[in-house]
Chain A
């Protein structure tokens, strides 16, 4: 079994949106963690509705890898920074306290030890921990990159996405209403991670807050020429392919 990361292909009126919801982000981070512990075979599973034809495979694979690259670049940023050394006033204050304890120690060996701890040993520990912190995030970033670049991309039909695609086809309503209905149907399809995507489209793309790549469904569609994502390995053909990359 290969370590797997997930990308969801949400059906839209005029194509598909590649979405990496929060659970899939966690899966990607965990996959990188597993790679750090021991190298494994890796795979990117692109979950698609049954309506996605074979012709879309190469372009979907390239777009899915790109989507995960963007997510990985966010995951590689440290969520917090350890402030050590003179840049941190609190720790500078502790060091000063340590030196004052040493100066005023007199005959008290307990005070001398505490002063040495605050003035010398603790700053060393803090600096060592800061280095480890940075190294840990560096290793994670490398593991994320290696995972995505070496992963085999495979398309898997997903029953919930198929149900959403069929519901979309069966509806007779304005686009925004259809997307609102799909957002409501996401829970029943086991895809609540796509709800925000559909709500975004229901609002007419007014407030995008998920990663979305518009991806045309038919290869001969004239609209597809303007929005299609390139095949894997090719440079992007059109910047309009990426609608947004803002995280909620």
Chain B
């Protein structure tokens, strides 16, 4: 149902929880019906770290399922938008007789009464998936991952990471490249996002600008938590 990986970073590591079928197209270790939470780490996790990873999964599910308490449900929001939108358009058309400036003012005044914030907030499919997963929380058991391919890929990644040196951003870019070579796009995306959000210091301003642009690509299909450095 969900998988977590402890991925290497320079001087520390990051726990990444995939719960939203992020690894679409890749073979699942246990199959979708099995309510397990498989954790892949370079060594055994302490009980506290396991609890942190569980909490990361719950946080991701809770935030995807809920949002803010005042969130409007779909039908009232549609009704509000339809009635208000029709009023705005009708008044704007009527005001066209007086001139386009009046029409614009009318559109602005009535348009301001629409629930824009709620209307723009999407993620309905994500919410449905989160609710579906949340209903099965009680049945989920956290266990060490057993998928041989995932174990091997993670071991190779850690081996590669231990050989790295130099600036943090360069190392993260190298790890991203390595993940792509290993046909592991989900992990590559994690490194790409890390470099883009400024978690890893960029070397120049133009690079930061590019990273900022890449950050606007939408929500991430995983939850993450910082973890300790591993020997």
Chain A residues packing against B (C-beta within 8 Å): 1-6, 23-24, 26-27, 29-34, 36-38, 40-41, 45, 47-48, 78-79, 82, 94, 97, 101, 108, 110-111, 113-114, 116-118, 121-122, 125-126, 128-129, 132-133, 136-137, 139-140, 156-163, 187-192
A79: chain B residues within 8 A (beta carbon): 68
User: Which chain B residues border A117 with CB–CB below 8 Å?
Assistant: 83-84, 87, 110, 113
Report the Cα distance A125→B96, complex, angstroms.
28
Residue of A nearest to B118 (CB): A129
Q: CB within 8 A of B66: which of A37, A45, A161?
A: A37
Interface of A is mostly: helix
Contacts of B11 on A, CB cut-off 8 Å? Answer: 187-188
B positions within 8 Å CB-CB of A = 11-13, 37, 45-52, 54-56, 58-63, 65-66, 68-72, 76, 80, 83-84, 86-88, 90-91, 93-94, 106, 109-110, 112-113, 115, 131, 134-135, 137-142, 225-229
B94-A37 in contact (CB<8A) = no
Least distance between A39 CB and chain B CB atoms (Å): 10
Which of B48, B66, B93 meets A158, CB within 8 Å? B48
Given the interface contacts A4-B51, A27-B59, A110-B93, does A188 sit within 8 Å of B87 by beta carbon? no
| Contact A133–B48 (Cβ < 8 Å) | no
A8 — nearest CB in chain B belongs to which residue?
A: B48
Asked whether B48 lies within 8 Å of A30 as measured between CB atoms, the reply is no
Contact between B140 and A1 (Cβ–Cβ < 8 Å)? yes
**B37 & A114 in contact (Cβ 8 Å cutoff):** no
Nearest chain B residue, comparing its CB with the CB of A26: B59
Q: Are B55 and A27 in contact (CB under 8 A)?
A: yes
Q: Are A1 and B37 in contact (CB under 8 A)?
A: yes
A94 to B62, CA, bound (A): 37
State the Cβ distance, B121 to closest chain A Cβ, in Å.
14
Q: List 27 A-B contacts (CB under 8 A).
A: A6-B55, A30-B62, A30-B66, A31-B58, A36-B66, A37-B66, A38-B134, A41-B138, A45-B55, A79-B68, A94-B112, A94-B113, A113-B86, A114-B110, A117-B110, A121-B83, A129-B72, A136-B68, A157-B47, A157-B48, A158-B47, A158-B48, A158-B49, A161-B48, A188-B12, A189-B228, A191-B228
